[in-house]
Amino acid sequence: MNSASRYRDFMRLLERWPLEPTKSGRDIGERIRECVKIAFNSEQFNGDPKYCDQQYKSLKNLSDNSYANTYKRNKPYSSTGLTAEECKLLLSNESLEYLKKDDRGLISKLFNRD
């Protein structure tokens, strides 16, 4: 497989990777796209096809959510006690801006403690 077809495969995979608009500048899909472009431009992937294929397989597994499907979670929340939706809200750019403006510590802000 040549580098052009590998690049097309990566681009098709990245099209399926969701972008999170509430995390612009900090989104993992955005960052992965940048890294893939850099790797192809720097010949990192073109010089080592085995490494390129390994990286593609790893990204595909993440994109397909294969690990979450293989290792089912017993509880619908994280170690913080927050659900996925609550974590998503907390990590949005708007929430982080709010937390930066407040003088209290993170834990106090999260649990409304003075």
Digit-by-digit pLDDT tens for the chain (114 residues) are 777 888 889 889 988 877 877 777 888 888 888 888 888 888 777 677 888 889 899 999 988 888 888 888 777 767 778 887 888 888 788 887 877 776 666 666 666 655
What CA–CA distances, in Å, run from 83 to 14, 67, 69, 77, 112?
26, 19, 18, 4, 18
Q: Report the C-alpha gap between 74 and 80 in whole angstroms.
A: 15
pLDDT of residue 75: 72
Q: Is 71 exposed, middle or buried (0-12, 13-18, 19+ CB in 10 A)?
A: exposed
pTM for this predicted structure:
0.63
